[in-house]
Amino acid sequence: MKLTSESLAAHLNGALLPAYLISGDEPLLAAEAADALRTRARAAGFSEREVHFIERAGDWDAVRASAANLSLFGSRRVLELRLGSARPGTAGNQALLALLRHPDPDTLLLALAPRLDREAQAAEWVKAFESQGGWLAVWPVDVARLPAWLRARSRALGLKLSEGAIDLLAARTEGNLLAAQQELMKLQLLAAGSEDAESVLNGIADSARFDVFQLTDAALAGEAARALRVLAGLRAEGTEATLVLWALAKALRDVWNAHAAGGGRPPAWQRQSAALGQALKRAPQLDFAALAQRAARADRMIKGRLAGNAWDELALLILELCGAARAQPRARAS
């Protein structure tokens, strides 16, 4: 049986299968799935747990010996195998097939493996897990699905995050779900049941929050020299470039939205209305496509996907948003 992270909870409400394989390189989701299985197994009477770390062919001898030995007190147990490789070799293949073809009703087999590529998925032992038990392949949450994932997690923790807060968390934790979950749990401790974008900034960026908004105030108002001084101060204080980029990108979107709406301002806008008004006066001369491209370049530099200094790119973005320099679209790096 093939399982997913979403279908596992419903499956565990029913009878357990004799064996489970969890594979994948997303530590948080794999660990949560394994924990859920262990909890359900304890509730079903599997009170013992025996763990084997498989790093070399000889380790399978201990697994076979353990499988052949009954517990002295007849307790039911979870036999947990942590595979160091997606290819356990001939010895591993034979040992796993023997365990799966002749299951012990008092032993639940749980195997944890790295991500299985297409060739590994076709291995005989994997097919045996799928036919005799359950196989859950854990896949990373991609960028497009990350905001929805964060919303669901925040709701489960009793947090009501604004879209701005979700965007910020997604930008900070892309590619690291464990870090994302830790940030949400931190917010749960700090929050009183709800968080907006500014509260998130306060919670995860400490005292840098106000300075970030000082930066966007100055950039929107066209005060280039002041904005660059604030940027230098943020950098010196160790503020993450991701946080600065998020704030500038949000300011850029607000200017564009207000300009596209005919010069009005977003209903929720309060503290930066004067600065936004200054930015709207410059809006007809701003090249929004080039500014967006500049922001995208800074994002790629922060993530190590493009050579260059992200802070220099942020400075150029500020100057161009201030109207102190003309945005120059650049060809994408191959």
CA distances from 57 to 79, 91, 92, 98, 158 (A): 18, 6, 7, 16, 47
pTM above 0.75, yes or no: no
**What is the C-alpha separation between 71 and 48, in angstroms, rounded?**
9
The CATH number of domain 146-205 is 1.20.120.1200: no
What pLDDT is attached to residue 272? 53
CATH number of 208-322: 1.20.272.10
- CATH level 3 topology of 2-137: Rossmann fold (3.40.50)
Q: What angle do CA 102, 108, 113 make, to 5 degrees?
A: 95
In this predicted structure, what is the pLDDT of residue 213?
A: 79
| All residues at 6 or more sequence positions from 258 whose CB lies less than 8 Å from its CB, including other chains | 264, 265, 266, 269, 276, 280, 283
* Residue spans per domain, the chain: 2-137, 146-205, 208-322
How high is the pLDDT of residue 168? 80
Running DSSP on this structure, what letter comes out for residue 161?
B
Neighbours of 227 (CB within 10 A): 25
pLDDT at 1: 93
DSSP state of 164: H
d(CA 112, CA 182): 23
pLDDT of residue 75: 81
Query: Which pLDDT score, from 0 to 100, does residue 148 have?
Result: 93
Cα 276–282–285 angle (5° rounding)?
145
Using DSSP, how many helices (H) and how many strands (E) does the chain show? 16, 6
Q: Which pLDDT score, from 0 to 100, does residue 33 have?
A: 95
Residue 316: predicted pLDDT? 95
Q: pLDDT tens track of the chain, all 334 residues?
A: 999 988 999 999 999 999 999 999 888 999 999 999 999 999 999 999 999 999 888 889 999 988 887 655 568 999 999 999 999 999 999 999 999 999 999 999 999 999 999 899 999 999 999 999 999 999 888 878 899 999 999 988 888 888 888 888 887 777 778 888 888 888 877 665 555 655 665 555 443 344 687 889 889 999 998 899 889 888 887 888 998 999 899 889 888 888 887 755 444 443 456 788 888 889 888 999 999 999 999 999 999 999 999 999 999 999 999 987 665 544 444 3
At residue 292, the pLDDT reads 93
